[in-house]
């Protein structure tokens, strides 16, 4: 089974490439944002717990997110592996993910970071904002804040996964097919 952690700044193409990975390798895409929205919308116990922290302006504890991921994994016995998108975001979360996977006799196979320069991503996001109507993709200053947050939080994760020889930087610029091929080469060379 393949367990991938997918990284990339907003606009780097994570959603597009996750679709390719799902179709090609039979993986289930677990986006923590999607999981949170699902649980809160449906008023599940985990959703209500997460909402209670968010209502107080507090960060949702890592264990709540891990519990959501664990439930999603349990509900997907047919999956050939998983794509973790949006988690982990800190070294502590990476350790929690490793512990969770180890309990299932699994481990992260690779961390794939879709790399792209901020100028290119800004153009992509502003274009996406025109089409999608997403407010967070229509303001260059807010986009830069999101880039800065990614840079601050991802640096320790890069080091964490590099220490395990599981970090792969992939050029996210170019035609979608070219980026797919670069990712496929990384996966083909996994041990």
Catalytic residue positions?
Answer: 14, 89, 128, 134, 146
**Whole-angstrom distance, CA of residue 30 vs CA of residue 135:** 24
Q: Is the preceding peptide bond at 157 cis, omega within 30 degrees of 0?
A: no
**Whole-angstrom distance, CA of residue 80 vs CA of residue 1:** 5
What value, to the nearest 5°, has the Cα angle with vertex 48 and ends 134 and 145?
Answer: 35
In sequence order, the 6+-apart residues with CB closer than 8 A to the CB of 53 are 59, 60, 61, 64
């Amino acid at each position: 089974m393949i367990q991938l952690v997918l990284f990339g700044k907003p606009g780097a193409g994570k959603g597009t490439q996750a679709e390719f990975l799902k179709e090609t390798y039979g993986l289930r895409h677990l986006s923590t944002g999607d999981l949170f929205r699902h649980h809160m919308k449906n008023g599940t116990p985990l959703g209500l717990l997460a909402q209670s922290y968010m209502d107080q302006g507090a960060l949702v504890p890592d264990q709540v997110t891990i519990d959501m991921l664990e439930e999603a994994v349990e509900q997907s016995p047919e999956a050939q592996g998983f794509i973790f998108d949006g988690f982990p975001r800190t070294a502590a979360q990476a350790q929690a993910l490793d512990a969770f996977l180890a309990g299932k006799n699994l481990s992260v196979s690779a961390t794939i970071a879709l790399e792209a320069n901020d100028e290119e991503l800004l153009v992509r996001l502003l274009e996406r904002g025109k089409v999608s109507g997403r407010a967070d993709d229509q303001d260059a200053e807010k986009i830069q804040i999101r880039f800065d947050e990614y840079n601050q939080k991802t640096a320790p994760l890069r080091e964490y996964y590099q220490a395990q020889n599981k970090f792969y930087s992939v050029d996210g610029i170019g035609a979608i097919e070219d980026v797919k091929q670069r990712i496929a080469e990384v996966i083909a060379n996994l041990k």
